[in-house]
Copies of this chain bind each other. A is one copy, B any other.
């Protein structure tokens, strides 16, 4: 039983590629007192990891030589005296590795209603909770709102849009391929979509949101945020959550001119999901019934094997993924 780990080899300039990582064999960790040993079933890959590599994420920095961090679904293989059974499924930030140890008090059980368990890393995990916080705690959504979501086919964006649909809002998604836009419209039920790679964004927003944008959930920042801010309706709410546009850059770009906020009497809020961890059960009790009644759709972009993680991460950061990026580790 030997461990496999993926470490950062070098800091990428711009988009990461597989050369920035190395896959190595390592000893399987031994749980200390109070720790349990788990086998990784699924690993979540997320854009914030690029921010950790740049040293610009609030959760800290990943340096060359460090194990890549990330949230996993693990299966308990040694409870080590703690109140778990072998085979229990839990989530923990175990990192990009095949086995991990974790303080028994820090792991979270996977809700038994979730099938596959990888959902606990995506639409029913931290990304879903992020969306829930943005819609229900920072959004003040009304059913008359026109809602615009960037990175709309991702785990966070697709959940923001579908929860807004469930509230009765008009929902428009921005995504980067016709395939993603097709899924958003035909499967997830979005009212309209914008392919930002083939359409002129400002014109497309005018077409889809003729009375302006009442609520914008931003996963991107950069020029896209700037363009949307020019078309806010009076009283708009903007939730800033992700900065995809600047994770790959060394120079911090500026943001939208403050006049856009004043003119719209807008409320702009920053969302960090860590502040809402105590709402996870409330979120699941809201969202699982919607999933079970087919009112929430999802897509996963699953790669098989930990050695595929570097390439899957590069695709994610190039916007070439479709749906929640998951590595099936064991």
| Chain A contacts to B: CB under 8 angstroms | 56, 58, 218, 221, 225-226, 240-241, 243, 246, 252-272, 275
Contact = CB atoms under 8 A, between A and B. Distances in A.
A310 B252 CA distance: 41
B258 A266 contact: no
Give the oligomeric copy count: 2
A216 B179 CA distance: 44
Given A225-B258, A252-B259, A257-B253, A271 B265 contact: yes
Nearest to A267: B269
A267 B265 contact: no
Nearest to A242: B262
A220 to B, nearest CB: 10
A259 B268 CA distance: 12
Contacts of A259: 56, 221, 243, 246, 252
Q: Which 6 A-B pairs have the closest CB atoms?
A: A254-B254, A262-B270, A261-B270, A268-B268, A255-B255, A240-B258
Contacts of A243: 258-259, 262
12 contacts: A58-B263, A221-B259, A252-B257, A253-B254, A254-B255, A254-B257, A256-B258, A261-B269, A262-B271, A265-B270, A265-B275, A268-B269
A273 to B, nearest CB: 11
A272 B262 contact: yes
